[in-house]
Amino acid sequence: MPERGGELESFLPYQLSVTSNAVSSLIATRYRRRFGLKIPEWRVMAVLGDGGRMTQRALTAATVMDKVAVNRAVKVLEERGLVARLPNPEDGRSHLLALTEEGRAIHAEVMPLARATERELLAGLSVEEEAALRRLLAQLRARAGMLAGAAALPPEA
């Protein structure tokens, strides 16, 4: 059996990924039973519920998911009647995705459940620790975005 506490366990990207998966899995288990939604499907619904209508490209960027995963989730949600494709008045080549009435109703039911789970998770932290955690996560996201943008720039001549 491999020894615990190796390099991987102290590697920040690994810690963030494992933590994210654990939290997502906890929430997903709670709403999968009731609503039959998997994590990617719920993530798409959550973003559309908060952000309103958007193109699939914008949805992919907002969910920070692979475009294939977003496409599959959208297809499942469309088949279930929870998401609809609407004409895009700004670009006739693309569509806007939006929650249907049933999709909005499920979103309205799931969000309080997700927030309750969030409160349970954060109950072990002080107000100051929670604020620090949120601040640090925002800083890491911003730094990762900056570094990703810098990596996309062509090398200087």
Q: Quick check: helix, strand or coil at residue 95?
A: strand
Task: Provide the pLDDT for residue 33.
Answer: 82
Which domain range does residue 76 map to? Answer: 15-117
Nearest-CA neighbor of 42 among 9, 13, 76, 12? 76
Q: What is the pLDDT of residues 83-115, one digit of tens each?
A: 999 998 888 788 999 999 999 999 999 888 888
Residue 53 lies in a domain: yes
Q: What is the pLDDT of residues 33-81, one digit of tens each?
A: 888 988 899 899 999 999 899 999 999 999 889 999 999 999 999 999 9
Residue 52 lies in a domain: yes
Distance between CA atoms of residues 149 and 143, nearest Å: 10
Residue 125 lies in a domain: no
Task: Provide the pLDDT for residue 97.
Answer: 96
Catalogue the E-assigned strands of the chain: 83-87, 95-99
Catalogue the E-assigned strands of 16-128: 83-87, 95-99
Total domain count for the chain?
1
- CATH number for the domain spanning 32: value is 1.10.10.10
Residue 149 lies in a domain: no
Do strands 95-99 and 83-87 pair parallel, antiparallel, or not at all (unpaired)?
Answer: antiparallel
Residue 82 lies in a domain: yes
Residue 2 lies in a domain: no
Number of other residues whose CB lies within 10 A of the CB of residue 17:
11
Residue 96 lies in a domain: yes
Residue 35 lies in a domain: yes
